[in-house]
Structures are given as C-alpha cells and as structure tokens.
Amino acid sequence: MEFELIWVDPSLVVCRTSELADLKGYEELMRALSSSPEFGPDVKLLMDHTALDASALTAADLEEIATIRARYAGDNKARSAMVVGSGSRLRFGLGRMFEAFMSSQAAIDVRIFEEFDDAIVWLQADDAGQAT
C-alpha cells in the first residue's frame, strides 16, 4: 500500500492511498501521520481511498485497522472523512464497516463519502459550527 500525506492547512490533512490495501501499509500511514509535528488533537483527517484496491480486506482486517487508527490517533478526536469513490459497493460497504468499528472503539466521528467534494463540505461544516 502506498500513501501520501497532504497538509491542506494546519487543521486538515488529506491521506491519499493507492495500490493493494494491507495492515502493514495502514500502520505505516498512521505512524507517519502521528509522528508529524503538525498532527494534533484538532486536526481533521480526510482519507482518500479512491485509488486503493481494498478487495483483499476482510472484516477482521477492518477491525484491526480501526484498532491501529485508535492507537495512533492518541488524543485526536476530530472528525474524519473517508472517500471511497463512486460506483464501488465493495469499498462503500467496507467503509461503513470501518465506520462502525471506529465508533465502537474510539468514539471518533468517521463518515464515508463517495465524492471528495462532499467530504470536504462535511468537514468544513464542522468548522462553521453546523451540524449535518
């Protein structure tokens, strides 16, 4: 799994992933993110998985990824969005499963989106104090 961290501003980082999803790659991503000096408790995370091949992931893998995320997130409880792309029932379903695991493990508000722009709007609505 390959990834790229893009700091949009001090309160938002986009993580773009590609190639074949795996636990080791996700842990490397979270290690890189959590060790960034810019990463703090109020930083929102937008995971862009539109180029990721998630076909080999199992429910157990997703539960472990949620555990990894909770471990490396530390005191970061900011909203997070995950973009899976349109037209992929598999990625959307896996995303919803991850969303459920995250809410039960770390009480982090994670939402799944098909489109990048929709995820940005949702994250920015939080900045404006709007509930959606």
Q: Which two tokens stand for residue 85?
A: 């792309």
Residue from 71, 58, 47 nearest 22 by CA: 58
What is the rounded CA–CA span in Å between residue 35 and residue 132? 31
pLDDT 10s digits, 65-92: 988 988 888 778 788 999 998 887 888 8
What is the predicted pLDDT for the residue at 131? 47
- pLDDT confidence of 107, banded at 50, 70, 90? low
Indicate the class that CATH gives domain 2-127.
alpha beta
Q: What is the CA radius of gyration of the chain?
A: 13
Sign of CA dihedral 114, 52, 63, 74: negative
pLDDT, residue 116, reads: 95
Q: Please report, as a single letter, which amino acid is at residue 59.
A: A
Q: Is the model more confident about 132 or about 113?
A: 113
Q: What is the pLDDT of residues 22-32, one digit of tens each?
A: 999 999 999 99
